[in-house]
Amino acid sequence: MNEFDDIRPYTEEEIPAAVQRLADSEVIPAIADYLMPGVPADVLRNRIRNIHTLKEFQLGLLKDVIETLLKKTTTQFDWSGLENISDKKPFLFVSNHRDIVLDAMFLQYILNEAGQNTCQITFGSNLMSHPFVIDFGKINKMFRTERGGSPVEFYNSMMHMSSYMRHVITEVKESVWIAQRNGRTKNGIDATDPAIVKMFGMSRRDDRVISLAELNIVPVAVSYEWESCDKLKTLELYLTKKNGHYEKKPNEDLNSILTGIMQFKGHVHFHVCPRVTEEDLLALNDCSTGEFYKRVAALMDSRINPHFFLHPNNYIAHDLRSGTTAYADHYTDEQKAAFVKYMDWMNDYPDMDRGELEEIFLGIYANPVDVVSKKSYFCRTL
C-alpha cells in the first residue's frame, strides 16, 4: 500500500472503472439535461464510457463541460499574470476561495489553455459524500483533505497532507491548488490563514525558509461579478448570527456545489500573482516561528488583494450599505436598479429580519472594495 493511498487521486489504472461508475450514475440525466437540453442522457453516458485516461477526461469531456458552463453562466472569462509562471515549474497555487469546485477547475482550464500541466486539487472530506462527487473529483486530480476529528487526529491529518503536497510538488513534479483558508469566503473578506501556511511547512522543519521556498508558492486572485452562492452564504451567516451556530442540512454541501456551478456569474477574472521567493522569505525571517507564518500570510494577501477585480456590483453594494454615492462613477443607474431588484429574493424569507439580511448580503459584495482600497497590505512589524 502506498503511503498516500488514503488521500491521493485515482491513478491512470483506476480511471477506466471510475468513469464507468460515473456513466452509470443516477445523476447523469439531470446533468445531461442542463448541459445538453433535449439530448438523450445516453449520449452523455456513452461519451463518458469511452474515456480511458486522465488526458481524455480533462482535455476532452471536462474541457467541453467547462466551456459549456462558461457560455451558460458567464459574460466574460479572462485571466492575467501568466508571465509569473512562464518557467512551468510545479507550483503551489494558493487562492482566495469563492466557489467550492469552480475556483480550482477554472484554474485548471487556464493552465491547460496556456499549455501548462493541470494541477492536483485539495478537496474537503465533508464534500466527498456522494459517489458521483467522489469519482468525479478523484478522476480530476482532487485529493482528500480531512475535516474535523480530535486535536491529535487533526494534527496527524495536516502533517499527512503537508507531506503529500510536498511529495507531489518536489517528487511527482505536479502543481497543487489549495484555498488560502479552510472553507469559502462567505463575507467577501479574503485573508490567508497563517495556520495554512504553517501546514505547508510541517513536512520539512529543518529550515522554514527553504521548506516554503521549494514549494514555489504562487498566490492567485479569483473574482466573480456575481458571488457564488450569495443567497446561501447570506442565509448561513444570518442563522449563525441569530443562533450562535449553523447546522448544515443533509446534502447541503452537494446543493452548494451544484448551485455554484449553475448560478450566473457574469464576469470572472483570475490573476496569477508573483510567486513567494526565497528572497521574500529571508526578508521575513528575523522573528519567532508564529510571527514568521503571519508575515508570509500577509505577504500573500498583499499580492492577492490588489488584483481582486472589482465590478459595478461591489461599488453599488458599498454605496447602498453606507448610504452614500461615493462610488457612483463606477456604475450606472440601470446597473444599480438591477442590483436592488435582485435583492427581492429576500422576500421569500418573511420571518427573517430584512434589514439584517440586507446588511449581510451587501457586505458580501461591499467588503472587497474596502480590502482592495487599503493603501498598504503588508508590514514587517505585524
Q: What is the pLDDT of residue 149?
A: 81
Q: In what order do the strands lie in the sheet with 142-145?
A: 74-80, 266-272, 217-224, 92-95, 176-179, 120-124, 142-145
Helix (H, G, I), strand (E, B) or coil at 121: strand
Residue type, 45: R
CB 306 within 8 A of CB 382: no
DSSP state of 169: I
Domain positions in the chain are: 15-225+266-309, 314-373
Tell me how far the alpha carbon of residue 23 is from its chain's centroid: 26
> In the chain, which ranges are continuous DSSP H helix?
15-24, 28-35, 41-49, 54-56, 63-73, 102-113, 131-139, 151-167, 194-201, 208-213, 230-243, 252-262, 278-282, 289-304, 312-322, 333-342, 354-373
Q: What is the pLDDT of residues 197-211, one digit of tens each?
A: 999 999 999 999 999
Is residue 100's pLDDT more than 50?
A: yes
pTM exceeds 0.85 for this model: yes
The 10s digit of each residue's pLDDT in 341-353 is 999 999 999 999 9
Is residue 376's pLDDT more than 70?
A: no
Classified as helix, coil or strand, 336 is helix
| 382: pLDDT strictly greater than 50 | no
User: Is the per-residue pLDDT at 212 higher than 50?
Assistant: yes
Domain formed by 15-225+266-309, architecture: 3-Layer(aba) Sandwich (3.40)
Let me know if 349 is exposed, middle or buried by CB neighbors in 10 A (0-12, 13-18, 19+).
middle
Indicate the pairing of strand 217-224 with strand 266-272. antiparallel
Contact 276, 219 (CB under 8 A): yes
Cα–Cα distance measured from residue 327 to residue 312, given in angstroms and rounded to the nearest whole number? 9
CA distance 69 to 63: 10
Assign 54 to helix, strand or coil: helix
